[in-house]
Amino acid sequence: MSTTAPGPVITAVIGDRPVPVHLAVGALDRVGALVAGAAAGDGVIVVVDGGVPHAGARVAASCRDAGLRVAVEAVPAGEASKNLGELERLARAAARAGIRRRDAVVAVGGGVVGDLAGFLAASYQRGVRLVQVPTTLLAMVDSSLGGKTGVDLPEGKNYVGAVHQPEVVVMDPAVLATLPPRELACGFAEVVKYGLLEGGDLMEMVAAWPALPGPAAEVADLIRRCAECKLAVVSQDEFDLGRRAILNLGHTAGHGIEAAAGYGGYHHGEAISLGLLVALRVSEHALALDPRWRDRTMDTLARHGLPVTLDPSVDVDEVVEIMSRDKKADGRALNMVLLRAPGDVLTHQDPDPAVVRAAIEELRS
Ligand SMILES: NC(=O)c1ccc[n+]([C@@H]2O[C@H](COP(=O)([O-])OP(=O)(O)OC[C@H]3O[C@@H](n4cnc5c(N)ncnc54)[C@H](O)[C@@H]3O)[C@@H](O)[C@H]2O)c1
Ligand SMILES: [Zn+2]
């Protein structure tokens, strides 16, 4: 059966190649047509998160309907799957399924599967086509876009990886209906980040957002706006040599808090919620940011169940210590992203560590 698929809602140009983003309810069932239409490949390996087998089955069925040879591999849900052992298992499954240079890897899941299957696509037979089908809010607005792929080592997160752009990204916002509230909120922390980076009506839309996930048509619009924001940055700086650093707003303090709280503490988006508040307070001191932006952001984050106070068990000295370790090897710079106003962003800032420490300390009250 051939239904004419609507066109992409965004076509970014990264390097010299277009990256179309399709975003619509029901788009899961059109993945096969998009893969088959994009090149002459006739085989795909669908790598699917164990938490969304139904989404994987629909994508696989659409690929079969499009006349593709299809292998399906499930990956156990969770960050622990983002490792070299799992990469080897998938690469061998691809080899046994006869996946060749011109075939494609289709990643169906959140950021874990996107990063893992993305790195499979980057490295298998020195690189095959990649299709990202993100199923979490975080993956839709962030991890499926921009081409960063990789796996973790015991020594550190994302320590082995590559930049490998997807040839198409397919988002079906209807899948968010099954995403647990905590995961939705974590994705929303990144949405708040985009609101601050862009300012203007995106910031207003984020501040006024109703209970998550929100009305279907508006969710699609919000995702599109955030995806446009990320892709606009990536298309100027694919390899993260300059401007792409603005995407780290809230992430220097956020990573420090995430690491100091340890395993079982904050999820990434929760730590970013706190990291954004630190970045805004430091921006008030360093760049005279109007304090009402921090107040408004705090209200927005709290309203969606994100933390706005720091757990008392987290050691502030340790957070600052991790933040200063987390820098490039150039002296003592904390290397933060700060704002003069929403939409007016400065990267590579080196604020006074005492001000940063006070901003984190303040989260305890
Ligand atoms: N490549 C990048 O640029 C980039 C950017 C940000 C984050 N990341 C990476 O992304 C990962 C985090 O991604 P995540 O937050 O999507 O987490 P995740 O992939 O672990 O998914 C979160 C949980 O949601 C479940 N799930 C996924 N989709 C679902 C759905 N539709 N319904 C119900 N359950 C569903 C998963 O099984 C999992 O348990 C981290 O490894 C991080 O390093 C990468
Ligand atoms: Zn993040």
Give yes or no: residues 162 and 272 share one domain.
no
Regarding the beta carbon of 150 and ligand 1, being less than 6 Å apart is answered: no
In a domain, 2, yes or no: no
pLDDT in tens, 45-95: 999 999 999 999 999 999 999 999 999 999 999 999 999 999 999 999 999
Instruction: State mean pLDDT over 273-288.
Output: 98
Contact 14 CB / ligand 1 (< 6 Å): no
Enclosing domain of residue 101:
10-178
88 and 194 in a common domain = no
Instruction: Tell me which of 112, 151, 258 to substitute to probe ligand 1's pocket, judged by most ligand atoms within 8 Å of the beta carbon.
Output: 112
- Domain edge (last residue) among 178, 193, 208: 178
* Shortest-distance Cα residue to atom 32 of ligand 1: 179
Query: What is the number of other CB atoms lying within 10 angstroms of the CB of residue 209?
Result: 20
Whole-angstrom CA distances from 102 to 15, 35, 73, 98, 342 are 20, 12, 19, 11, 44
**CB contact at 8 A, 49 and 179:** no
Task: Report the CATH number at residue 200.
Answer: 1.20.1090.10
Q: 3-class DSSP state for residue 204?
A: helix
Separation of alpha carbons 363 and 346, rounded Å: 23
One domain for residues 237 and 323 = yes
Q: Are residues 87 and 65 in the same domain?
A: yes
| CATH number for 50 | 3.40.50.1970
| Residue 105 counted as domain residue | yes
Note whether 348 and 202 are same-domain residues: yes
Tens digit of each residue's pLDDT (9 = 90 or more) over 36-56: 765 555 899 999 999 999 999
Token pair in block for residue 91: 């690469």
pLDDT at 327: 57
pLDDT exceeds cutoff 50 at 322: yes
Question: Which secondary-structure segment (H or E) carries 205?
Answer: helix 200-207
Domain boundary among the residues 178, 206, 233 is at 178
pLDDT digits (tens, 9 = 90+) for 239-272: 999 999 999 999 999 999 999 999 789 999 999 9
What's the pLDDT score for residue 1?
Answer: 46
C-alpha 130/C-alpha 99 separation (Å) is 13
Q: Structurally, how many domains does the chain consist of?
A: 2
pTM: 0.96
pLDDT for residue 145 is more than 90: yes
Between these two residues, 221 and 332, which has the higher pLDDT value? 221
Do 229 and 150 share a structural domain? no
4 falls within a domain: no
What is the average pLDDT score of the chain? 94
| Ligand 1 contact via 258 beta carbon (within 6 Å) | no
